[in-house]
């Protein structure tokens, strides 16, 4: 049996199965209610039941005292509906609505995806979760005070582990450590989430996703979020790399395209090696978009990669009619550490990215 939930004042509506919490069902429906730990410890998901009956579940009395329960308040991460409900809660619509946290984490797994790319999986403390929007990033806090920023490659609903795609920067302090010395169970600290690179959902425009190298990480998060949230807007992904190894998760976008008719995928190599046996598209990845689209006036574009790619795409896409305010980008550069230079720098925030 399921129950219907209406949220005030936003007007969002969704259904909750009898065994699901109000918060988890909202997440599954793509509705972004605030949360922190998802087990009642932090109180971030606290809201008001305007009408209807709930089971408070395992909500701790210290986080939700009896007087607050009597006043109709609930911890939505613990509460389950016993009837249709009207609740009062804030729905997150932008990155600024999410609390930025500084948190410890443990290296759970290191997986080599390519000779120069590692997927780093981070586990949070038992009573913690990081709420973020698909496409945002976190900053690893180094002991010397420097920061290294990496996009989150997992979708927000899949938040048990945080996944980063890290490319080796020769001479880079942090990435050299990741590739040559980091061990599982090592402890790190990070701050986040950050960034305004996230999916705008107030339109039905088709989407072009443009990724260069490890710029695929936030694009992966966006696509998986969209699939999970049943967003059916047409999406065309263009992923560019120098050679075949640079497309370090080659089967994943093929799977998206095979399983979802509204998703297309075009891989592009700029300098395929002879042993790549490449028969696909070649050249600059943004030029593949131009070859396929004579008029971009009706599209949204989400682009992540090196500044040269971002700058060229912005210039050439707007010349094809793309509205300037429909181009969303996350650009980053790579440089070896010196006394004055970090591994990488986010061009929008000046945060290090490697």
Tokens representing residue 64 in the block: 């939700």
Kindly state whether residues 176 and 287 are assigned to the same domain: no
Residue 340 burial by Cβ neighbours in a 10 Å radius (0-12, 13-18, 19+): exposed
Instruction: State the pLDDT confidence band at 331, using cuts at 50, 70 and 90.
Output: confident
Higher pLDDT, 250 or 348: 250
Higher pLDDT, 39 or 221: 221
Average confidence (pLDDT) over 116-138 = 94
Kindly state whether residues 125 and 187 are assigned to the same domain: yes
Tokens representing residue 304 in the block: 């992540």
Q: Supply the pLDDT for residue 128.
A: 87
Q: Are 239 and 268 in contact (CB under 8 A)?
A: yes
Kindly state whether residues 122 and 67 are assigned to the same domain: no
Kindly state whether residues 220 and 322 are assigned to the same domain: yes
The whole-chain average pLDDT of the chain stands at 91
What CATH code is carried by the domain that includes residue 162? 2.40.30.10
- Name the one residue in this structure whose structure tokens are 């075009």: 266
Flag whether 345 is in a domain. no
Higher pLDDT, 327 or 340: 327
3-state secondary structure at position 227: helix
When divided into structural domains, the chain yields a total of 3
Q: How far apart are CA 314 and CA 308, in angstroms?
A: 10
Q: Strand 263-269 vs strand 235-241: parallel, antiparallel, or unpaired?
A: parallel
Q: Supply the pLDDT for residue 42.
A: 79
What residues make up the domain containing 163?
A: 96-194
Q: CA dist 349 to 136, 167, 190, 315, Å?
A: 12, 20, 16, 21
Average confidence (pLDDT) over 226-234 = 95
Instruction: Report the share of the chain in percent with pLDDT over 70.
Output: 94
Cβ-proximal residues to 283 (8 Å cutoff; 6+ apart), any chain: 268, 270
Kindly state whether residues 314 and 224 are assigned to the same domain: yes
Q: Are 5 and 33 in contact (CB under 8 A)?
A: no
Write out pLDDT tens, residues 262-295.
Answer: 999 999 999 999 999 999 999 999 999 999 999 9
Flag whether 351 is in a domain. no
Q: Supply the pLDDT for residue 196.
A: 85
Write out pLDDT tens, residues 4-46.
Answer: 999 999 999 999 987 899 999 998 888 989 887 778 877 889 9
Flag whether 105 is in a domain. yes
Cβ-proximal residues to 5 (8 Å cutoff; 6+ apart), any chain: 13, 14, 15, 16, 22, 25, 26, 81, 84, 85, 86, 87
Q: Strand 263-269 vs strand 73-75: parallel, antiparallel, or unpaired?
A: unpaired
What predicted TM-score, i.e. pTM, was given to this entire model? 0.81
Instruction: State the pLDDT confidence band at 351, using cuts at 50, 70 and 90.
Output: very low
Kindly state whether residues 25 and 58 are assigned to the same domain: yes
Give the containing element (helix H, strand E) for 17: strand 13-17
Higher pLDDT, 180 or 30: 180
Q: How many CA atoms lie within 13 A of 343 on its CB side?
A: 24
Q: Are 222 and 317 in contact (CB under 8 A)?
A: no
Q: Supply the pLDDT for residue 334.
A: 53
Cis peptide before 9 (omega within 30 of 0): yes
């Amino acid at each position: 049996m399921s129950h219907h939930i209406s949220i005030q004042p936003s007007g969002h509506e969704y259904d909750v199965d009898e065994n699901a919490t109000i918060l988890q069902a909202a997440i599954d429906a793509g509705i972004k209610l605030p949360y922190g730990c998802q087990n009642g410890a932090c109180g971030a998901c606290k809201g008001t039941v305007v009408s209807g009956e709930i089971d408070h579940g395992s909500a701790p009395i210290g986080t939700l005292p009896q007087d607050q329960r009597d006043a109709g308040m609930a911890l939505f991460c613990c509460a389950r509906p016993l009837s249709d409900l009207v609740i009062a809660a804030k729905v997150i619509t932008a990155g600024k609505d999410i609390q930025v946290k500084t948190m410890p984490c443990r290296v759970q797994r290191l997986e080599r995806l390519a000779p120069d790319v590692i997927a780093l999986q981070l586990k949070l403390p038992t009573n913690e979760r990081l709420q973020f929007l698909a496409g945002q990033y976190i900053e690893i806090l180094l002991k010397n005070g420097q920061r290294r920023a990496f996009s989150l490659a997992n979708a927000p609903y899949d938040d048990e582990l945080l996944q980063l795609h890290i490319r080796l920067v020769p001479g880079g302090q942090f990435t050299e450590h990741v590739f040559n010395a980091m061990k599982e169970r090592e402890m790190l600290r990070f701050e986040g989430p950050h960034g305004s690179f996230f999916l705008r959902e107030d339109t039905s425009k088709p989407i072009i996703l443009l990724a260069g190298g490890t710029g695929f990480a936030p694009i992966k998060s966006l696509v998986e979020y969209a699939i999970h949230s049943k967003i059916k807007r047409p999406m065309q992904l263009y992923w560019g790399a120098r050679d075949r190894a640079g497309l370090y998760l080659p089967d994943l976008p093929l799977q998206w395209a095979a399983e979802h008719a509204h998703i297309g995928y075009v891989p592009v190599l700029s300098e395929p090696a002879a042993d790549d046996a490449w028969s696909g598209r070649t050249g600059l990845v943004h030029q593949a978009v131009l070859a396929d689209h004579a008029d971009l006036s009706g599209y949204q574009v989400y682009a992540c990669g090196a500044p040269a790619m971002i700058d060229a795409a912005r210039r050439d896409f707007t010349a094809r009619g793309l509205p300037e305010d429909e181009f969303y980008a996350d650009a980053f550069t790579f440089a070896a550490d010196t006394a004055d230079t970090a591994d990488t720098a986010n061009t929008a925030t000046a945060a290090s990215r490697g």
